[in-house]
Amino acid sequence: MLSILFPSLLNGVATGAIYALIALGLTLIYGVLHIVNFAHGAALMVALYGVYFLFTAWHVDPYLALPIMIVAMFCFGYGLQRFVIGRASHGKDEYILLVTLGIAIILENLALALFRSDTHSIDTAYTLATVDVFGALIALPKLIAFFGALAVSSALLLLIGRTQLGRAIRAVAREKQGARVVGIDVEHIYAMSFGIGMACLGAAACFLLPAYYVNPLVGNGFVLIAFTIVVLGGMGSFAGALIGGLIVGVVESLGGLWLGESLGQIGIFVIFIAVLLFRPQGLFGQKGA
Amino acid sequence: MKSQVPSRRQFVAQTAALTMAAGFPLIGRAQVKAIKIGVLHPVTGALAFSGSQCRIGAQLAIDDINAAGGIKSLGGAKLEALLGDAQSKPEVGAAEVEKMNEAGVSAIVGAYASAICLATTQAAAKYNIPHVVDVGVADSIVERGLKNTFRFGPGYTTAAHVAMNNLHILNKLAGNVAKSVMIIHEESLFGTGTAQLLARDLPALGFEVKEVVKHANPTRDFNNIVLRMKAVNPDIVIPANYYNEYALLVRTMQQQKFRPKAIYSVLGGAASSFKFLNEFPDAAKDIIDCNHWFNPKDKRALALRKRVEAMKVFFTYEVFCTYTATMLLADAIERARSARREDIVAALAASSFANHFMPYGATRFVNGQNQGAQPLMTQVQGGDIKVIFPKEYKEAEPVFPLPRA
Amino acid sequence: MRELALIVAVLAAFLCAPWLTDSGVVLNFLIMVLFATLLGQAWNILGGYGGQFSFGHAAFFGTGAYAMAVLQTVFAVNPWLALPLAILCGVLVALVIGVLSFRYGLRGSYFALVTLAFAEVLRILANTFDFTGAGVGLQLPLREAAGNMQFADKTGYLYLVLSFVAFGLMLSWWLRHSRYGAWLSAVRDNEASALALGIDALRVKLAAIMLSAALMAAAGAFYLQYFHYIDPHIAYGPAISIEALVGAIVGGLGSVFGPLLGALVLHLLGEATRNLMGDLPGISLVVYGVVLVLIVMFIPRGLSGLFGRRA
pLDDT in tens, C5-61: 999 999 999 999 999 998 999 999 999 999 999 999 999 999 999 999 999 999 999
pLDDT at A96: 86
Q: Is residue B264 part of a domain?
A: yes
pLDDT at B17: 36
| Partner-chain contact A113 C281, CB within 8 Å | yes
The mean pLDDT value for C124-149 works out to 89
Assess whether pLDDT exceeds 60 at residue A287.
no
Beta bridge partners of B84: B40
Q: Is residue B399 part of a domain?
A: no
Contacting subunits of A (3+ beta carbon pairs below 8 A): B, C
DSSP B356: S
Q: Calculate Rg over the CA atoms of chain B.
A: 21
What distance in Å separates the CA atoms of residue C35 and residue C41, rounded to the nearest whole number?
A: 10
Q: Are C65 and C230 in contact (CB under 8 A)?
A: yes
Instruction: Tell me, yes or no, whether B239 and B381 share the same domain.
Output: yes
How far is C-alpha C296 from the chain's CA centre? 21
How confident is the model over C200-214, as pLDDT tens digits? Answer: 999 999 999 999 999
How confident is the model over C66-100, as pLDDT tens digits? Answer: 999 999 999 999 999 999 999 999 999 999 999 99
- Locate the chain B residue with the closest alpha carbon to A261: B215
What distance in Å separates the CA atoms of residue B333 and residue C201, rounded to the nearest whole number?
A: 67
Q: Are A7 and B227 in contact (CB under 8 A)?
A: yes
Residues of B with CB under 8 A from a CB of A: 43-46, 48-49, 51-52, 187, 213-216, 218-221, 223-225, 227-228, 230-231, 243-244, 247-248, 251-252, 254-257, 275, 279-280, 283
Count of domains for chain B = 2
The partner residue sitting opposite C32, judged by closest CB among B20, B95, B189, is: B95
- Locate the chain C residue with the closest alpha carbon to A100: C293
| Partner-chain contact C275 B145, CB within 8 Å | no
How confident is the model over C146-166, as pLDDT tens digits? Answer: 999 999 889 999 999 999 999
| Partner-chain contact C53 A93, CB within 8 Å | yes
Residues of C with CB under 8 A from a CB of A: 47, 53, 100-101, 104-106, 108-110, 112-114, 116-118, 120-121, 124-125, 127-128, 135, 242, 245-246, 249-250, 253, 280-283, 285-286, 288-290, 292-293, 296-297, 300
| Partner-chain contact B189 C135, CB within 8 Å | yes
φ and ψ at residue B366, rounded to 5 degrees: -120, 120
Q: What is the nearest CA distance from C1 to chain B, expressed in angstroms?
A: 30
pLDDT at A130: 87
Q: How many CA atoms lie within 13 A of C155 on its CB side?
A: 10
| Partner-chain contact A262 C112, CB within 8 Å | no
| Partner-chain contact C227 B95, CB within 8 Å | no
pLDDT at C40: 97
C232 contacts on A by Cβ (under 8 Å): none
The partner residue sitting opposite A98, judged by closest CB among C108, C128, C246, is: C246
DSSP B78: P
The partner residue sitting opposite B213, judged by closest CB among A15, A139, A260, is: A260
What distance in Å separates the CA atoms of residue C37 and residue C246, rounded to the nearest whole number?
A: 11
Strand residues in B79-235 grouped as ranges (E): 79-85, 107-110, 131-133, 149-151, 180-186, 208-215
Instruction: Tell me, yes or no, whether B246 and B387 share the same domain.
Output: yes
Instruction: Tell me, yes or no, whether B172 and B252 share the same domain.
Output: yes
pLDDT at C302: 78
Q: What is the nearest CA distance from C48 to chain B, expressed in angstroms?
A: 27
Residues of A with CB under 8 A from a CB of B: 1, 3-4, 7-8, 11-12, 15, 109, 112, 116-119, 121, 123, 127-128, 130, 137, 139, 212-213, 215-218, 220-222, 225, 252-253, 256-257, 260-263, 265
Helix (H, G, I), strand (E, B) or coil at A62: coil
- Locate the chain C residue with the closest alpha carbon to B15: C272
Instruction: Tell me, yes or no, whether B145 and B162 share the same domain.
Output: no
C99 contacts on A by Cβ (under 8 Å): none
Q: Is residue B296 part of a domain?
A: no
B14 contacts on C by Cβ (under 8 Å): 25-26, 29, 271, 275
Of A277 and B359, more confident = B359
What distance in Å separates the CA atoms of residue B57 and residue B322, rounded to the nearest whole number?
A: 5
Instruction: Tell me, yes or no, whether B121 and B182 share the same domain.
Output: no
Instruction: Tell me, yes or no, whether B319 and B345 share the same domain.
Output: yes
Domain residues for the domain of B227 are: 157-291+376-393
Nearest of B285, B243, B250, B300 to residue B399 by alpha carbon: B285
Q: At what angle do helices A5-33 and A164-174 cross, to 10 degrees?
A: 80
Q: Are B318 and B274 in contact (CB under 8 A)?
A: no
Instruction: Tell me, yes or no, whether B235 and B380 share the same domain.
Output: yes
Assess whether pLDDT exceeds 50 at residue C179.
yes
Which residues, at least 6 apart from C60, have a Cβ–Cβ distance to it below 8 Å?
C42, C90, C91, C93, C94, C212, C213, C216, C217, C220
Instruction: Tell me, yes or no, whether B327 and B202 share the same domain.
Output: no
Instruction: Tell me, yes or no, whether B171 and B280 share the same domain.
Output: yes
Q: What is the CATH number of the domain that holds B105?
A: 3.40.50.2300
Peptide bond into A226 cis (omega under 30): no
A20 contacts on B by Cβ (under 8 Å): none
Q: Is residue B230 part of a domain?
A: yes
| Partner-chain contact C124 A231, CB within 8 Å | no
A248 contacts on B by Cβ (under 8 Å): none
Instruction: Tell me, yes or no, whether B389 and B279 share the same domain.
Output: yes
User: Per-domain residue ranges for chain C?
Assistant: 2-237
Angle value at C-alpha A39, between A35 and A45, nearest 5 degrees: 145
pLDDT at C308: 54
Assess whether pLDDT exceeds 50 at residue C280.
yes
Q: Are B253 and B286 in contact (CB under 8 A)?
A: no
How confident is the model over A60-100, as pLDDT tens digits? Answer: 999 999 999 999 999 999 999 999 998 887 878 788 888 99
pLDDT at A288: 40
pLDDT at A286: 58
Q: What is the nearest CA distance from B195 to chain A, expressed in angstroms?
A: 14
Q: Which region holds residue A36: left if phi is over 0, alpha if psi is between -120 and 50, else beta?
A: beta
How confident is the model over A191-225, as pLDDT tens digits? Answer: 999 999 999 999 999 999 998 999 999 998 898 88
What ipTM is given for this predicted complex?
0.90
pLDDT mean by block of 10 residues, chain B; 405 residues: 38 36 41 89 92 96 96 94 94 95 96 93 95 93 94 94 94 93 90 92 94 88 89 94 91 90 89 89 91 94 96 94 97 95 96 95 95 95 92 93 79
Q: What is the nearest CA distance from B296 to chain C, expressed in angstroms?
A: 32
Distances in Å between the Cα of B404 and the Cα atoms of B210, B381, C56 are 21, 16, 50
Q: At what angle do helices C238-251 and C108-126 cross, to 10 degrees?
A: 140
Q: What is the nearest CA distance from B8 to chain C, expressed in angstroms?
A: 6
